[in-house]
Chain A
Amino acid sequence: MAYIDPHIHMVSRTTDDYQRMAQAGCVAITEPAFWAGFDRSSVQGFFDYYRQLTDTEPKRAANYGIKHHCWLCINPKEAEDVGFAREVISIIPDFLDCKNVLGIGEIGLNNNSKNELIILEEQLALAERLNQLVLVHTPHLEDKLKGTTLIMDAIENTSLDPNRVLIDHVEEHTVHAVLNRGFWAGMTLYPDTKCTPQRAADIIEMHGTERLWINSAGDWGPSDPLAVPKCRLELASRGHSKSLINTISYDNPLSFLSQSGKFSVE
């Protein structure tokens, strides 16, 4: 069965990963702009990164029959310097018309600081002004609960439709509030720091599949680009139907992402 990995950082992965993902049934991915493991020293660094996301990666993915899409932003970890972040934000609109750009993301918070919140609000305003979909990064570990609430409050201060916003990296202590407030929710399947495939399956059993998706968020850290098919296998081993598995790993990403008018699996 075909699947979509709606959050993976292929700039950090090898071509072998594209091959293994294709062999496992991956037909499309979306790649949010993120922290590359080091702080970039210039706006030009981001310009080149956006070129990589809009030009180079789609070609790498196409070699394996995978459709590549992306999201653009300055990530929260590099948003503490407000002046620098604003310079980066100023170049984003030039890329939004690229055919594989789906919206603004992954914006959000990292350490839940005042400056991160200012830049989050400014990027939400950009999405609002240009009618873009939004993909949200929620903070790590002990900062997630507080950050998720701050982020949802900030979004609710805009006119953005929650049905056009996906809040990612939810876990057991945040998923309920995210869904209750009308947003889409993403579960990231990580070996240590987010949801395991088993816990994601538990959350699906407790909350159902409505407005929920799974992703690998594979990147340069401990992560697994095949986490989505592993979660599908976990669900199958528990006796869940092909229909449910397809809903969480194909139909739901397709529904949310198609709101951009640019998402395609072919």
Chain B
Amino acid sequence: MTKKEIVDQYFLEHRAKVLDIAAFLDRIDRSGETDADFRIDALMRCIKELQSEKEGRTERILSILSDHTTEPIDHAGMKGACGAVPPPS
């Protein structure tokens, strides 16, 4: 596909997704709570990566959101994966 064909086919879909992210962040602001959340911190790092001009953004963003330790953990917890790496407890 040409660049124009790609933009023609997908622009509106991704315009909507950017607006969803903006609305999500506005919603958090309206909660009035200012304490940090590691998931939002990770999301903001991902948004910064979007501004990169180098191809491979998806893989780099998945890397930002991944656990990079290499050893198995001692015990499986009760909680499932949450999409970003929690701070050490």
Contact = CB atoms under 8 A, between A and B. Distances in A.
B81 A140 contact: yes
A139 B81 contact: yes
B66 A144 contact: yes
Contact of A142 (B10, B66, B74): B66
Interface string B53-71: 0000011001101111110
A41 interface: no
Contacts of B1: 238-239
Query: Which of A80, A110, A146, A149: most chain B CB closer than 10 A?
Result: A146
Question: Interface size for chain B: under 10, 10 to 19, 20 to 34, or 35 or more residues?
Answer: 20 to 34
Contacts of A202: 58
Contacts of A173: 59, 62-63, 66
A140 B80 CA distance: 8
B9 interface: yes
Contacts, number: 72
Question: Interface size for chain A: under 10, 10 to 19, 20 to 34, or 35 or more residues?
Answer: 20 to 34
| Chain A interface helix/strand/loop/mixed | helix
Nearest to A144: B66
Given A111-B76, A113-B74, A172-B58, A141 B68 contact: no
Interface of B: 1, 9-10, 58-59, 62-63, 65-70, 72-77, 80-85
Given A140-B80, A238-B1, 8 more contacts: A111-B73, A111-B76, A113-B73, A114-B74, A116-B72, A142-B67, A172-B59, A237-B9
Interface of A: 77, 80, 110-117, 139-146, 149-150, 171-173, 193, 198-199, 202, 237-239
